[in-house]
Structure 1
Amino acid sequence: MATATVKQSYTIPCSSVFRDAVLELAGKRGVNAADLARSVMLIVPEAAIEDYDDPGDPPPGDRETIVLKSGPAEGRPWRRKPRLQLRLPAGHSIIAVRKALNMALHFDLGEVKMRVEKADVLAAERLVLEEAHALKKRQNEPPVELLQSREELERLRAIVDNLAFEPLDRGVTTFNEALHVMGFAPSARPDIKSIRIKYRVLASIHHPDSNYGSHQRMTQLNAAMDLLRRHIA
């Protein structure tokens, strides 16, 4: 059974023109932006990508407006630098990913061409065979560190599941319900500083983008934060 590749979320700041061009190319190819970057990084030598032009960060004044979807400021508009959100295997730099996307655009425009020689093909074949052999060996003989990491991850997930609050059927409507969701004792009367500290810790756990995230818990956490803040104010 193959081991799943660990991916992480990449935020790639870029101009709105560059972002729109990447998204348009991805749509035309029926893929997403991460597929474009990954395709280039799979076939183009790393040194060639490093030497390629970087389109850079967005210029001054180039901003986009979004509406915040969670947190105390939920529903409010926010101006930020344009960006692309990609999920790729861990270990890449932001600049390398942006250069790879730039190369993908130039490939599509015919401004970049590749020459494949026999030596290159043989070297690529050898590399693929070596990687396949190494992967098979790792699968048959998983290192102790990997087994321990998996066990620790499962243990942490079990701890989070057992300690996390149970979402309330009717949502957060009372002060005591808000205390429950935020992890305070029923008799507690926390100040605003304690509430904010508790919120930041719990939000990092329950946010849908985290490994242990829950949209329902995050929604009720935001509601509890707003209710407690209004009560104290």
Structure 2
Amino acid sequence: MSSSSTVKQSYTIPCSSIFRDAVLQLAERRGVNAADLARSVMLIVPEKAIEDYQDPGDPPKGDRETIVLKSGPAEGRPWRRKPRLQLRLPPGFSVITVRKALQMAIDFDAGDVNMRVEKSDVLAAERAALEEARALKKRQAEPPVELLQSREELERLRQIVDNLAFDPLDRGVTTFNEALHVMGFAPSARPDLRAIRAKYRVLAAIHHPDSNYGSHQRMTQLNAAMEILRKHVS
């Protein structure tokens, strides 16, 4: 697997509650997260050495943690499940490899294991870490695709609103018929106060200057039209 991979995926690592707590405590002491612990070991330690290391294994029978469900029909109810760690790492690792790397991190911290690391391995790890840092910086500098798509959609909606909305009157709104036009009623319409207020709420949400499609000029004329129509039905 290339260590310069820029995409990360979520890993669910089943483990004993004792192992999970030891990993989280070590991460907290070092000021990092559990994924950082695993990644640092996998960058420095040769892959073969990790493969040959002892796997702490799945949680033993009866070892369970209780969580509260946050969604679905059983939302709010407690649920007992196998203990686990949730990590985000580059794709391509097996659950067992990640779990072994975490065990090595714990053992390194406790001084329970010594290992000779060749200079070439350290240099390779430094290069990999530098490449990942550069890739992260590049991703942060570039707007995500979703944001670009949202901006394009926003611009399309602005154009639609401009095409469908009333054209502001040059001399403002002064007559009953002009008020009907601005509020979007037919020239022959005689709306009651309830219909006028409902129409105003919809149009004000669109044309208010604080909205994404707002227009100060349209909002001003909308307010004027509202006053004229309200007086007419009063």
If the TM-score is normalised by the length of the shorter chain, which range does it land in? Answer: 0.5 to 0.7
Shift of 1:123: 5.9
Instruction: Map 1:109-148 to 2 at 5 A.
Output: 109-116=110-117, 120-122=118-120, 124-125=122-123
Contact 2:14 2:83 in 1 (8 A): yes
Instruction: Map 1:201-216 to 2 at 5 A.
Output: none
* Structure 2 residue identity aligned to 1:60: K
Instruction: Map 1:51-66 to 2 at 5 A.
Output: 51-66=52-67
SS in 1 for 2:74: coil
SS in 2 for 1:10: strand
Q: Distance in 1 between matches of 2:127 and 2:66?
A: 48
TM-score of the pair, normalised by structure 1:
0.52
For the aligned residue pairs, the C-alpha RMSD in angstroms reads 3.5
Change (3 A) 1:123 1:53: closer
Asked if 1:18 is matched to 2:19, the reply is yes
SS in 1 for 2:13: strand
Q: Distance in 2 between matches of 1:43 and 1:4?
A: 16
Asked if 1:97 is matched to 2:95, the reply is no
Change (3 A) 1:104 1:122: closer
Gaps of at least 5 residues in structure 1 are 139-152, 163-233
The answer for the alignment partner of 1:230 in structure 2 is none
Change (3 A) 1:15 1:132: closer
Change (3 A) 1:32 1:128: closer
The answer for the alignment partner of 1:169 in structure 2 is none
Give structure 1 regions of 4+ aligned residues with deviation exceeding 2 angstroms: 122-133
Q: Distance in 2 between matches of 1:95 and 1:11?
A: 11
Contact 2:20 2:84 in 1 (8 A): yes
Change (3 A) 1:121 1:19: same
Q: How many residues align?
A: 143
Measured against aligned partners, the alpha-carbon deviations of 1:177-204 in whole angstroms (never above 9, x if no partner) come to xxxxxxxxxxxxxxxxxxxxxxxxxxxx
Shift of 1:4: 7.9
Instruction: Map 1:1-233 to 2 at 5 A.
Output: 5-116=6-117, 120-122=118-120, 124-125=122-123
Shift of 1:114: 2.3
Change (3 A) 1:126 1:92: closer
Gaps of at least 5 residues in structure 2 are 136-144, 155-234
Change (3 A) 1:107 1:74: same
Measured against aligned partners, the alpha-carbon deviations of 1:149-171 in whole angstroms (never above 9, x if no partner) come to xxxx76xx77xx89xxxxxxxxx
Change (3 A) 1:128 1:79: closer
Change (3 A) 1:99 1:131: closer
SS in 1 for 2:49: helix
Q: Percent identity?
A: 71
Q: Distance in 2 between matches of 1:130 and 1:104?
A: 19
* Structure 2 residue identity aligned to 1:121: K
Shift of 1:30: 1.0
Shift of 1:71: 1.2
Q: Distance in 2 between matches of 1:38 and 1:131?
A: 10
Contact 2:16 2:83 in 1 (8 A): yes
Shift of 1:92: 0.8
TM-score of the pair, normalised by structure 2:
0.52
Q: Distance in 2 between matches of 1:99 and 1:131?
A: 20
The structure with the larger Rg is: 2
* Structure 2 residue identity aligned to 1:15: S
Shift of 1:132: 7.5
